[in-house]
Amino acid sequence: MTETGATSAPALAEIADIGRDTVRGGYSRHLFDEADRQLREWFVARAAGIGLDVDHDRNGNIWAWWGPPGPGALVTGSHLDSVPGGGAFDGPLGVVSALDAVQRLMVSGFRPSRPVAVVVFAEEEGSRFGVACLGSKLLSGGLAAGTALALTDASGCTLAEVMAAAGLDPARAGRDDALLSRIGLFLELHVEQGRGLIDLGVPVGVASSVLGHGRWRLRFAGQGNHAGTTLMSDRRDPMVAAGATIAQIADLARARAGARATVGRVDAAPGGTNVIASRVDVWLDSRAEEDEVTRALVAEIGATAAAHAAAQGCTAELTEQSWSGTVHFPDGPRMAIRGALGDVPALPTGAGHDAAVLAAAVPTAMLYVRNPTGISHAPEEFASAEDCAAGVDALETALRSLAGRS
């Protein structure tokens, strides 16, 4: 699919070989790893090549300015990182479309009445440090710098260490009011991650809302031991408690209308086939329209885990890793965009986005491009060349209208 994906939006072909995951399929591009570093370099060169002034903010996000930075800037862009084994479009489509749309405006002789910028947000997927939308949360103050800097990746490196190694000063991380005050509107284009536009039969839509979503770690602890010498009656096996809990999670979510709960990752320690685990970490993603529903569902899952753990002579501990409440995008920008584009549909989504995080600090809006597979966070994610072109057209039209003609 990545072959097909690479040919969909011409600029995606330029980065099609960066971060391919030969084990999982698709792409694995994680904050400040080699793939992310190459993608950042590509973006800086590409943005400078079309005449934008590139700037790195204090939180790992990259800004490319057309005109002096702010105030009242019209900002577009998205992210370049991926989930493990993700698709080619989630994030990069918004970045390449932003560069294309801005370049078209520049080449056409358009003179914006306000500054325009293309942004790349850091660690939107939270695949390395576990917190979704890390760059936009730091920028907007949605996550305290001290908490963020202490986050560790799978090999135990802290975000502070990784930022320092990438040339950023961790002491300067955190809410950036000067930069926020430059943003008049952030408009993010993104591949659609569900079936809304397929069902409506149109290539482009605008966002209405983003489901609240969070991540939790359920840590089951027991007694590591020998798989052959430990009688079944003598075990304190956290894997049994974890498995029993996971088996119930889908039904607990189905009992609450519209709620979702997913376990996509389980880590057993020490992780030997002939070893009863001493510890099992179960990573839970849960979402719902009403934040209280998500909270209640997660509390119920925590109680279920505790009961299964007790039945096995183990313990279970529930820890929140990341939280973003449900966001309804403001009416004004959405109405202005629909006014410019004509009668494009407005769609809710269950996927998280930097635009939803930033909505707490600045006006934001989103455009979606149809994904004919309806699949995302997987290599089958797709958008046709025609629909990618329709997305760039829509973004250019929206930017032209929002930035005012001269």
Closest distance of CB 163 from Mn ion, Å: 21
Q: Which of 36, 57, 81, 90 binds Mn ion (CB under 5 A)?
A: 90
| DSSP per-residue codes, 295-314 | HHHHHHHHHHHHHHHHHTT-
Q: Which is nearer to Mn ion, 91 or 238 (CB)?
A: 91
Using CB under 5 A, which of the segments 85-93, 176-184, 213-221, 239-247 binds Mn ion?
85-93
184 binds, among Mn ion, ligand GLV, none (CB under 5 to 8 A by kind): none
Q: Which is nearer to ligand GLV, 132 or 288 (CB)?
A: 132
Q: Which is nearer to Mn ion, 90 or 387 (CB)?
A: 90
Q: List, in order, residues 6 or more apart from 57 with CB less than 8 Å away.
A: 63, 139, 176, 179
Q: Which is nearer to ligand GLV, 137 or 308 (CB)?
A: 137
Q: How many residues in total does the chain contain?
A: 406
Question: Other CB atoms closer than 10 Å to residue 324's CB: what's the count?
Answer: 26
281 binds, among ligand GLV, Mn ion, none (CB under 5 to 8 A by kind): none
Q: Which is nearer to Mn ion, 1 or 307 (CB)?
A: 1
Closest distance of CB 112 from ligand GLV, Å: 30
Closest distance of CB 352 from ligand GLV, Å: 4
Closest distance of CB 148 from ligand GLV, Å: 17
Q: Which is nearer to ligand GLV, 133 or 221 (CB)?
A: 133
153 binds, among Mn ion, ligand GLV, none (CB under 5 to 8 A by kind): none
Q: List, in order, residues 6 or more apart from 183 with CB less than 8 Å away.
A: 70, 73, 75, 358, 362
Strands 279-288 and 73-79: what pairing?
unpaired
302 binds, among ligand GLV, Mn ion, none (CB under 5 to 8 A by kind): none
Of residues 378, 328, 323, the one with CA closest to residue 356: 328
| DSSP per-residue codes, 207-221 | EEEE-EEEEEEEEEE
Question: Other CB atoms closer than 10 Å to residue 194's CB: what's the count?
Answer: 17
For residues 342-361, which are near Mn ion according to CB under 5 A?
none
| DSSP per-residue codes, 128-164 | TTS-TTHHHHHHHTSS-HHHHHT-B-TTS-BHHHHHH
Instruction: List the x/- string, 49-78, binding to Mn ion by CB under 5 A.
Output: ------------------------------
Pairs from 39-45 (Cβ < 8 Å, separation ≥ 24): 39/15, 39/80, 39/81, 39/92, 40/80, 40/120, 42/14, 42/15, 42/18, 43/80, 43/95, 43/120
How many angstroms separate the CA atoms of 388 and 102, rounded?
15
Using CB under 5 A, which of the segments 5-13, 23-31, 83-91, 355-363 binds Mn ion?
83-91
Q: Rounded to whole angstroms, what are the CA distances from 43 to 16, 64, 123, 244, 321?
A: 13, 9, 15, 46, 30
- Under the criterion CB under 5 A, does residue 91 sit at the interface with Mn ion? yes
Give the nearest residue (CB) to ligand GLV: 352
- Under the criterion CB under 5 A, does residue 333 sit at the interface with Mn ion? no
Closest distance of CB 60 from Mn ion, Å: 16
User: How many chain residues bind Mn ion (CB under 5 A)?
Assistant: 2
Q: Which is nearer to Mn ion, 120 or 306 (CB)?
A: 120
Residue 119 and residue 75 in contact, taking contact as beta carbons nearer than 8 Å = yes
How many angstroms separate the CA atoms of 97 and 300, rounded?
42
352 binds, among Mn ion, ligand GLV, none (CB under 5 to 8 A by kind): ligand GLV
**Which residues make up the interface to ligand GLV (CB under 6 A)?**
125, 132, 213, 351-352
- Under the criterion CB under 5 A, does residue 192 sit at the interface with Mn ion? no
* Cis previous bond, 84, omega within 30: no
Q: Which is nearer to ligand GLV, 241 or 293 (CB)?
A: 293
Binding site for Mn ion (CB under 5 A): 90-91
